[in-house]
Amino acid sequence: MMQVHYVMYEGIKFPSAYNSEHSLSFTHNEFQVRDDDIFNVTYPKSGTVWMTEILSLIRSRGCPGWNRTVLNSDRVPWFSTRLGLESALSYLPPRLLTCHLPRHIFPKSFSSSSAKVIYTLRDPRDVVVSSYYFSKMCNSYEDPTSFEQFLRDFLNGELPHGSWFEHVRGWMEMKDKENFFFITYEELKQDLHSSVRRLCRFLGQDLDDDAISSVVQNASFMSMRENPMCNSILLPTDIMDQTKGQFLRKGICGDWENHFTVAQSETFDRIYWERMQGLNVTFPWDQH
Ligand code: A3P
């Protein structure tokens, strides 16, 4: 098994294949946010790459050309990583940028800007499952020993990018701010058309119904799977071992039910309700 290294920054563990102490500290302390920046922020496996496609398609008013010819990481750079930072700095504004950063290490200059943040979140149980399979195929993450152990690590906030609970709580503090928009993976799945319409309104982009339909069609799971500019097949084998799985794996809600035992589900619920207390938001997965 390949040795996996992490870099620690402000108490959070990041894969060192993409991140360095310098890229993280530069992003945090020196990165100059512009008022016209649009940030796609997520905890890993919550729909990051999906939102990247949606945002680029909205920018192209539904025309798929850009999405089909330019890699997602060049359209919406991972600005806190070593390579992503370079492409963010040379990006002709207005910029579309993406990251998994928790709120407390997001660029300091953001606070005094009117840049927009789109925060996508997903049922944490599906996040664990998706993350478990992703860790098996992605060589910059440690191979999970078992699902049981992986779930424990997730609940203890010991996976790369830190605790899901802290991430969500940190970002959701912004929920009433005008430049903050949050949406769930579940809402995107349930009604992509009206989700895109809401996104357009937030972004101040007026797309007609045909344009929105084209965004929806080109951001579908099937279209994305066929698009090498976002399905990850162009990534080198030492980063992503495509023989061990598929990045666009299932694309469904509720796959956790096929993985959690009753006991795991009970433990999960107990910790979830403890950790989410006082947040005052109801997510689609909270009502059952
Ligand atoms: P699964 O592993 O459950 O299939 P991220 O981009 O944050 O790493 O998230 C990856 C997850 O989003 C994967 O979940 C992937 O299949 C899913 N996904 C990506 N594009 C999607 C789409 N168009 N529709 C539904 N799910 C999508």
Give pLDDT, residue 288: 61
Give pLDDT, residue 2: 62
Contact 27, 107 (CB under 8 A): yes
Fold entry, domain 6-287? Rossmann fold (3.40.50)
Contact 45, 131 (CB under 8 A): yes
> Residue 267 contacts by C-beta under 8 Å, 6 or more apart in sequence?
155
Question: Can you tell me which atom of ligand 1 is nearest the CA of 44?
Answer: 7
**Which residue out of 130, 159, 188, 250 has the highest number of ligand 1 atoms within 8 Å of its CB and is therefore the one to mutate?**
130
Using the mean position of ligand 1's atoms as its centre, give its distance from the Cα of residue 47 in Å.
Answer: 5
Low-confidence ranges of the chain (pLDDT < 70): 1-2, 288
Structure tokens at 211: 């344009």
What is the chain's Cα-based Rg? 18
Using the mean position of ligand 1's atoms as its centre, give its distance from the Cα of residue 13 in Å.
Answer: 22
The reply to whether ligand 1 has any atom less than 6 angstroms from the CB of 249 is yes
The reply to whether ligand 1 has any atom less than 6 angstroms from the CB of 63 is no
Give pLDDT, residue 48: 98
The reply to whether ligand 1 has any atom less than 6 angstroms from the CB of 170 is no
The reply to whether ligand 1 has any atom less than 6 angstroms from the CB of 216 is no
Contact 188, 220 (CB under 8 A): no
